[in-house]
Amino acid sequence: MDSKQKVRGFSCSIHQIGNLGLQLLWSLVHLLISIGYFVVAAAAAVESYLISSGLLTRYKVLNISKLKYLAIVIESDDAVQTSKVVQLLRWLEVMGVKRMCLYDAQGVLKKSKASIVKMLDNAVLFEELDEKDLLEKPKCMALEFASMSDGKEGVVKAANLLFAKYMELGNRDGLDDEFFTEAQVGEALRAVGCKGPEPDLLLVYAPVRCHLGFPAWRTRYTEIVHMGSLKSMRLGSLTKAIYKFTRVRQNYGK
Amino acid sequence: MRSCLFKVLCMGPIPTHFSFIMDGNRRYAKKMDMGEGAGHRAGFFALVSVLKYCYEVGVKYISVYAFSIDNFKRRPEEVKTIMDLILEKTEGLLEEGSIADQYGVRVYFVGNLKLLSEQVRIAAEKVMEATAHNTRCVLLICIAYTSCDEIVNSVRECCKDKMEVVNEHSAIQLVDIEKHMYMGVAPDPDILLRSSGEKRLSNYQLWQTTHCTLYSPTALWPEISLLHVVWGILKFQRSYAYFEKKKKML
C-alpha cells in the first residue's frame, strides 16, 4: 500500500513537472511571437515614413474614385481621443475620401459627433444630406456615426416594423415568400434609421482584426483591414491600406 | 511531433468554434494546371486534414463555407461539379470509418436547403439524422447560405411565431432573432480563417463574428496546413483576454 502511494505521488510530481515544462514552452512561444510582432511593427513604421514622405513612389497616385464609402471602426476605449479621430479624418479628406462612417461599439463617437464635425472645416452629418446630395458628387465630407445599437438592435427594430405590416396583411398562402425578402428587410432597416450604404472598405483601429459588431447587413463584401490601435495610426499605413484596396478585384461569389 | 505541439498549445485557451471560408480552389487548380473540378477535390482533402487537426487539439465546433447562395451565379457546369462533389462526400459521411464516425462528429447542414437539388437535400438530411446522436464534436456545413438570407429567414420565422401568439405587449426581441438563425445551433465563432488572403467575409457569419478574430493567410485553400491552424489558434490566444473583456461588457 505504502509503495503504491509512493508510486502515485511520484507520477503526480512527474505530471506536475511536465505541465510546468509545457507551460514554460507555451509562454516562450508567445514571447517569441510578441518579439516578432514588435519587429514587424518597427518595419511597418519605417515603411509608413517612406510612404508619407513620398519616397515610395507607387503610393503617390491613389484611384480614390473606387472608394465610394469608407467605414472606420475604432476601439471604444480609444474613441475618446477626439483629436486623434479628427487628425485621421483630415488625412482622409486630403486623400479625397468624402463619405464615411465612424463606428465604435459603445457609441462614444456618437456622443462626440457634434464636436468632431465642428473641428473639421468642411464636414456635415450624413443624415443631413438628402437624396439629391447623395447622388451628386460630394462637395464636403459627410460623416455617419454608428454604434452597436445600429447593428443587431437595428435588425430587431426592422423585424418589429415588418411584423406590424405582416399582421395587417393577414395570413394567406405564399405571403411569407413574397413579403420576407432582402429588399423588404433593407427597406425596413432604412425606415428605422439604419440608412447608411454598404462600405467598400472597413479600417479597424483596434488591438485585434475584428469588425466589433459593425452592422452585419452592410458588410457583405466589405474589405476589412486591420490598422492597429488608434494611438499608433500613421498616414503612410493609411495610404497603403487604401492603395491596396484600390487594387482588389472581387468576384462577388461568381 | 503533432501531439507534442498540441500539448503545448493546450496550455492556453483553445477556441470553442473555428470557422473557415474555403477560398482559392479554382486558383489552385489554375496554378497547378489542373481541371477546375480537381481544385475542389484538392480542397476537400485539405478540409479533412483541417478537421482532424482541429478535433485533435480540442476544438468542439467547426463551421465551413461550402457553398454560398451567390455561388449559384457561377457557370452551370461548375455548379454541377461542386454539387456532385458535395453529394459524393455527404454520402461518404454515412459510411463506417468516416470522419464523423472516427471523431464522433454531429453534422449540421446550415443554410437555405430548399435551394438545393432534392438529391443533395435528402443526402444532407440523412447525414444530419445519422449523426444526431454524436456528441464529441460538431461540424456545420454552410451550404446555400448567406448571412443576409439567414437574417431574412430569422425575421420571417420570428414573425410567424409571433402571429400565433399575439398580444399587444409581445414585441420581437434580440433573443428571438438569434434563436431562429441558421447558426443558432452553435456558439459564435472565436476565430474565422479565410484562405487566399482575401480580407472580406463575403456574406458569411456577419451576425456571429462580432467578437471573432479574423485571420486571412495568403495560402490558397488546398494549401492550408497544420501550420495555419496552429497560427490561427495562437492568434486566438493572443486576443482571448481582449474579447473576454468585451463579452463581459455586453
Give the DSSP per-residue string, B54-67: HHHHT--EEEEEEE
Q: What is the set of active-site residues of B?
A: 23
What distance in Å separates residue B29's CA from the closest CA in chain A?
A: 16
Nearest to A156 among B148, B163, B177 (CB): B177
Burial class (CB in 10 A: 0-12, 13-18, 19+), B5: middle
Long-range own/partner contacts, residues A173-177 (CB < 8 A, 24 or more apart) = A176/B156, A176/B160
Look up residue A124 and give its DSSP letter.
E
Q: Residue B114's closest CA among B106, B124, B105, B104?
A: B124
The phi and psi torsions of B169 (rounded to 5 degrees) equal: -95, 0
Residue A253 is nearest to which of B73, B166, B214, comparing CB atoms? B73
Percent of chain B scoring above 70 in pLDDT? 98
B242 inside 8 A of chain A by CB: yes
Q: Is residue A190 a contact partner of residue A58, using CB atoms and an 8 Å limit?
A: no
Task: Tell me phi and psi for residue A104, to 5 degrees.
Answer: -145, 145
Q: What are phi and psi of B18, to 5 degrees?
A: -115, 125
10 Å Cβ neighbour count for B99?
18
Of all residues in chain A, the percent with pLDDT exceeding 70 is 93
- In this structure, what are the phi and psi dihedrals at residue A192, rounded to the nearest 5 degrees? -95, 10
Whether residues A163 and B172 touch (CB distance < 8 A) is answered with: yes
- The cell for A116 is 468632431
Q: Compute the distance between CA of residue B224 and CA of residue B51 in angstroms, rounded to an integer.
A: 12
Chain B residues in contact with A29 (beta carbon < 8 A): 8, 234
Q: How far is A222 from chain B (nearest CA, A)?
A: 6
Tens digit of pLDDT for each residue in B137-184?
Answer: 999 999 999 999 999 999 999 998 888 775 555 789 999 999 999 999
Q: What is the pLDDT of residue A179?
A: 84
What are the DSSP calls for B35-99, one per residue? -HHHHHHHHHHHHHHHHHHHHHHT--EEEEEEEEGGGGGS-HHHHHHHHHHHHHHHHHTTSTTSH
Contacts of B143 (CB under 8 A, 6+ apart): B66, B67, B86, B109, B110, B111, B113, B116, B124
Q: Is B174 on the interface with A (CB under 8 A)?
A: yes
Question: Of the candidates A218, A164, A156, A214, which has an alpha carbon nearest to the alpha carbon of residue B177?
Answer: A156
Q: Which amino acid does the sequence have at B216? A: S
> What pLDDT, on a 0 to 100 scale, did the predictor assign at position B162?
85
pTM value?
Answer: 0.93
Higher pLDDT, A12 or B16: B16
CB contact, 8 Å: A198 with chain B?
A: no
B162: contact with A, CB 8 A cutoff: yes
What mean pLDDT is reported for chain B? Answer: 93
Is the pLDDT at B69 greater than 90? The verdict is: yes
At residue B71 the predicted structure's pLDDT band, cuts being 50, 70 and 90, is very high
Q: What is the pLDDT of residue A3?
A: 80
In this predicted complex, what is the ipTM?
A: 0.93
Q: What is the nearest CA distance from B199 to chain A, expressed in angstroms?
A: 5
The proportion of chain B whose per-residue pLDDT surpasses 90, expressed as a percent, equals: 85
Asked if A133 reaches chain B (Cβ–Cβ under 8 Å), the answer is: no
Whether B218 and chain A come into contact, CB under 8 Å, resolves to no
pLDDT of A91-143, one tens digit each?
Answer: 999 999 999 999 999 999 999 999 999 999 888 888 887 666 665 666 788 99
One-letter amino acid at A209 equals R
At residue A175, the pLDDT reads 62
Amino acid at A197: P
pLDDT for residue A55? 87
Residue among B155, B159, B214 whose CB faces A224 most closely: B214
Q: Integer distance in angstroms from the first to the last C-alpha of chain B? A: 40
Q: How much is the average pLDDT of B184-213?
A: 96
A25 interface with B at CB cutoff 8 Å:
yes
Single-letter amino acid code for the residue at B248: K
Best of B21, B114, B146, B209 to substitute, by most chain A Cβ atoms within 10 angstroms, is: B209
* Residue A185 contacts residue B152 (beta carbons within 8 Å): yes
> Smallest Cβ distance to A163: which of B7, B159, B201?
B159
pLDDT at A137: 63
In this complex, do B214 and A152 lie within 8 Å of one another by their Cβ atoms?
A: no
**To which residue does cell 464523423 refer?**
B100
Chain B (67-96) residues lying within 8 Å, Cβ to Cβ, of chain A: 68-71, 73-74
HSE at residue B180, side-chain half, CA atoms within 13 A, is 21
Contact between residue A207 and residue A75 where contact means Cβ atoms under 8 Å apart: yes
For A192-216, the pLDDT digits (tens) are 988 889 999 999 999 999 999 999 9
Average pLDDT across chain A, whole number: 89
pLDDT at A73: 97
What does the pLDDT read at residue B13? Answer: 97
Of all helices (H) and strands (E), which one includes residue B124? helix B118-130
